[in-house]
Amino acid sequence: MTDLGKILIFCGLALALIGAVVLALSRAGFRGMPGDLAYRSDHAQVYFPIVTCIVISIILTLASWLYHWIARK
């Protein structure tokens, strides 16, 4: 059970850090990347962060690849 507790604490700290980064970016004026789709009408507002998701996916893939490459050496 101590391992589960450590994992939960790590996940909580990671989520808090991600939240702080998102909050800081929004206060700095970041409203998304060019290419993200937004639809606004009188009764609905929908936001599709397509480009942002692709960029995050590429960054996480490269980080994972780099971690596995370093771990093999």
Q: What is the pTM of this model?
A: 0.60
HSE-up (13 A, CA, CB side) for residue 5 = 2
Q: What is the pLDDT of residue 60?
A: 92
pLDDT at position 16 over 90: yes
Could you read off the pLDDT of 24-59 as tens digits, one per residue?
988 888 777 788 888 999 999 998 888 888 998 999
Cα-Cα-Cα-Cα torsion 6, 12, 16, 18, nearest 10 degrees, comes to 90
Q: What is the pLDDT of residue 44?
A: 94
Ordered by start, the domain boundaries in the chain are 1-30, 32-73
* Mean pLDDT, range 11-25, rounded to an integer: 90
